[in-house]
């Protein structure tokens, strides 16, 4: 019985010794693709273009809203002097303008969201490919995407986000 316990203990000890070097060789990298997206030159340019497009479309939408409000006020002023049929006709015209305004606003927001998602997706995909390439070249055994701060602490992990941003901006895609 004692021999069996010693043999099992020795076996467990040897297994632990054999597996110990494999833990020591682990090299872990963290990368925040969201931060990289916001900080790479291409991401900053995409945001600037989207903001410019937003401002342009917002002016158009605001102009439509102002025109609608002026016409509504004018109709209210003329309400007493217009016949009931003329008033209904103008009110229906205003209602159509309001629906047009709402449709254009919704279309504008959809267009903006789509453009933002498309540009972000293209850059994120390139960042993913580059981060995998960097991890392999630098001998990392594990690469963890950490945009949501899922890893709060790691003694052995190295954050490679800054290097990813620098390499992406240098064109090492």
Between CA 67 and CA 151 the distance in angstroms is 52
Q: What is the pLDDT of residue 8?
A: 43
Between CA 146 and CA 152 the distance in angstroms is 9
Within the chain, which residues score under 50 in pLDDT?
A: 6-10, 14, 17, 20
Write out pLDDT tens, residues 29-42. Answer: 999 999 999 999 99
Range of the domain at 112: 23-170
Q: Is the distance from CB of 7 to CB of 134 less than 8 angstroms?
A: no
Write out pLDDT tens, residues 95-114. Answer: 999 999 999 999 999 999 99
Residue 14 lies in a domain: no
Per the rule left: phi > 0, alpha: psi between -120 and 50, beta: everything else, 47 is: alpha
Residue 13 lies in a domain: no
CATH (domain of 150):
3.30.910.20
Q: Is the distance from CB of 57 to CB of 108 less than 8 angstroms?
A: yes
| pTM confidence score | 0.68
């Amino acid at each position: 019985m004692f021999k069996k316990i010693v043999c099992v203990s020795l076996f467990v000890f040897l297994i632990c010794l054999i597996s110990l070097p494999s833990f020591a060789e682990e090299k872990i990298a963290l990368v925040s693709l969201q931060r990289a997206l916001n900080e790479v030159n291409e991401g900053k340019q995409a945001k600037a273009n989207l903001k410019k497009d937003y401002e342009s479309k917002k002016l158009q939408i605001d102009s439509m809203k102002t025109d609608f409000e002026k016409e509504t006020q004018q109709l209210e002023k003329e309400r007493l002097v217009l016949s009931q049929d003329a008033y209904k006709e103008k009110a229906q015209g205003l209602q159509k303008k309001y629906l047009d305004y709402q449709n254009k606003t919704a279309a504008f927001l959809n267009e903006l969201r789509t453009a933002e998602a498309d540009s972000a997706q293209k850059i994120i995909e390139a960042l993913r490919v580059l981060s995998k390439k960097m991890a392999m070249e630098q001998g990392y055994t594990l690469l963890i995407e950490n945009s949501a701060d899922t890893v709060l602490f790691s003694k052995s992990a190295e954050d490679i986000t800054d290097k990813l941003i620098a390499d992406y901006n240098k064109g090492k895609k």
